[in-house]
Structure 1
Amino acid sequence: MSDDLLVTRRGGLLHVTFNRPAQRNAMSWQMYEGLLAAIDQADSDADIRAMVLRGAGDEAFVAGTDIAQFAEFATGQDGLDYEARMQVVVDRLEACRVPTVAGISGYCVGAGLALAAASDIRVATRTARFGVPVARTLGNCLSMNTCSLLVFHLGPSRTKDMLLRARMLDAQQAADAGFLAEVCQLGELDSTITAVTDRLLEHAPLTMWASKQAVRRLRIANLPDGDDLVRAVFSSHDFHRGVRAFVDKTPAEWTGS
C-alpha cells in the first residue's frame, strides 16, 4: 500500500486516510487502487462494521484527481476510460457492505466531492468547501453517474448553479442542502466522527446494509447513458488548453471547440 493512502484497522472500524497534504490530497491512480483494496477489505471481513474516509491535514479532504495525470490524455476515449475508472471506484464505495463516513475538513472538490457523495454519512468542519469548478479550471465535464449523485443529494437547481457558475458551497450551505449530517468546529472533527461511528457500531448490520442498498438502487434505477457528453468534452481543444493552463498556472482561454 502506498504511503499516499493509509489504511488502518481499529476494532470494528476501518480508517482510510488520503495522505498527500502538500497536494491537498489530490488522488493519483495508485490511490484509487488503494481505495478499492480498502473497500474489498471492508466487504470481506465480517468483523469490520464501518469505514471512515479522511484527508490528511486540515486543508482538504480530497481536492480532486491529480491534474498532472490529465496531461497524458489525447482523445475523447481517454476521457471515457477515466470516467469509467472513476465510476468503478464511486460505485464500489456507494455499494460497500458497511456504512461509510466521510470526515471532511477544507476542500472537497471534483473527485473528492464524488467520493464524499458516494459515502453514506458526511460530517464536516466549518472550514469545509464543496464544489466542482471545472467550468473555470479544466474545461472537462462530469460523468452521468457523478451528475446523478450530485442531483440526488443537492437537487437539480443547486447542482446546475454549482457547475455553471463554478460555485463553492460552504459547510453551512451544504448542511442546509441536506448533504452534511453534522457540522463542527475545526478541532472537533475527530470527536464528531467518533460519535457517529459509535452509534453505527451499536446497530444491526443487515438492517443498515439493506437500507443503504435500497437508497442506492433508487438512485441508479433510471440512470441514462452519458458517454457522448464525456467524449465530446474530453476530446475538445478547450479541455487540452485547460489542462495546460492549470498546470502552467496561467488563465485558460475558452473557445467552445
Structure 2
Amino acid sequence: MYNNILTSQEDGITKITINRPSKLNALNKETIQELHAAFRVADLDAATKAIIVTGSGEKAFVAGADISEFADFSVSEGGKLAEKGQELLFDFVANLSTPVIAAVNGFALGGGLELAMAAHFRIASDNAKMGLPEVSLGVIPGYGGTQRLPQLVGKGRAMEMIMTAGMIDANQAMQYGLVNHVTTQEELLPLAEKLAGKIMRNSSVAIAAAIKSVNAAFEDGVNGFKVEIEQFGNCFGTEDFKEGTTAFLEKRKADFPGK
C-alpha cells in the first residue's frame, strides 16, 4: 500500500514506521504524503486509541528532509514547500484527536525533529541525536521547528540549537524537556506501548478535548482558558463522562464507550 512507510494495528495501537533505511528515513515529498494518509486513517479508525511513530532500523528516526528534491527551488516554491508540508503533516499531527507518541530511535534531524516535535510527546533511545541543522545549508527550519522548539525547550536553548546547527544527545534532550523518557533501543517500543496502554485506559473523548485545550494555549489570538471551559462543558454531554462518573461512584473500573 505504501512505498516508504509501514503500518500495523494491534491492541488499539497503530504503529507507523518510516521505512527508507538507505536514506536514513529522510522525508521526501512522497513520504510526507504517505504519512499524512496513514495518520488520517489511524485517526479515523475507532479501534485505534493511540499512535506510535518511529523509524526503521537502529540508526535513524528521520535524518532530515530529502535535500535533493528542493535544492533548485525558487523563493515562491520554497514558501509553498513549507506551507504544504506544515498543513499536510506537521500541523495535522499536532492537532490529531488521537494521541501520537514519537519513539525516537536514532537521528532526528531537521524535518525529523520537526515531526517528533509535532507528536504529542516524545521518548528516545539512548543513541538518539537531535538537532535542526538547516542554517548550515543556508535555510531555516520550515516545518514548524522555529515555533515548536522554543515552546518545548525555551527560547534561549532553541536559539542556540538553531544557530549552531548542532546536535544534542538523548540525555541532554531529556534535561531540556524535549523528550520525556530515555531508554535502550530494545526497550524503546515496549515503553511506547506501555505508555500508550496507560493512555488507552482513559476516555478517548476526554483526551481529544484535552489535546485541543492544550494546543489552544499555543495559538495566536486564541484564549486557551475559554477553549478549556468550552471543552470541559462539552465533556458533560458524552457517554464517557456518564460512564466515568458512574464507575467512580460505584467503585469499579470504567469501561469507556469512546462516545
TM-score range, shorter chain: 0.7 to 0.9
Q: Where does residue 109 of structure 2 map in the other structure?
A: 109
Residue 3 of structure 1 and its aligned partner are, at CA, apart by: 2.8
C-alpha separation between the residues in 2 aligned to 1:222 and 1:172?
A: 35
**2:85·2:143 contact (CA, 8 Å) conserved in 1?**
no
**2:129·2:168 contact (CA, 8 Å) conserved in 1?**
yes
Residue 17 of structure 1 and its aligned partner are, at CA, apart by: 0.5
**2:54·2:104 contact (CA, 8 Å) conserved in 1?**
yes
**Among the aligned pairs, what percent are the same residue?**
29
Residue 222 of structure 1 and its aligned partner are, at CA, apart by: 4.9
Q: Where does residue 195 of structure 1 map in the other structure?
A: 194
The alpha-carbon distance between structure 1 residues 144 and 17, as it changes in their structure 2 partners (threshold 3 A), is closer
TM-score by length of 1: 0.82
TM-score by length of 2: 0.81
C-alpha separation between the residues in 1 aligned to 2:140 and 2:179?
A: 24
Q: Where does residue 253 of structure 2 map in the other structure?
A: none
Matches within 5 A, 1:176-255: 176-222=175-221
Residue 86 of structure 1 and its aligned partner are, at CA, apart by: 1.7
Q: Where does residue 140 of structure 1 map in the other structure?
A: 139
The answer for unaligned runs of 5 or more in structure 2 is 223-259
Per-residue CA deviations over 1:197-226 (Å, capped at 9, x if unaligned) read 111111111221111111211112259xxx
C-alpha separation between the residues in 2 aligned to 1:149 and 1:188?
A: 27
Q: Where does residue 229 of structure 1 map in the other structure?
A: none
Q: How many residues align?
A: 221
Q: Where does residue 5 of structure 2 map in the other structure?
A: 5
C-alpha separation between the residues in 1 aligned to 2:113 and 2:12?
A: 26
Matches within 5 A, 1:103-182: 103-136=103-136, 138-143=137-142, 145-182=144-181
**1:62·1:109 contact (CA, 8 Å) conserved in 2?**
yes
Q: Where does residue 35 of structure 1 map in the other structure?
A: 35
**2:132·2:167 contact (CA, 8 Å) conserved in 1?**
yes
Q: Where does residue 58 of structure 2 map in the other structure?
A: 58
- Structure number, greater radius of gyration: 2
Per-residue CA deviations over 1:84-125 (Å, capped at 9, x if unaligned) read 012111111001111001111110010111110010121111
C-alpha separation between the residues in 2 aligned to 1:78 and 1:156?
A: 29
What root-mean-square deviation, in Å, do the aligned CA atoms of Structure 1 and Structure 2 show? 1.5
**1:7·1:38 contact (CA, 8 Å) conserved in 2?**
yes
- Higher RCO by CA contacts (8 Å cutoff, separation 6 or greater): 1
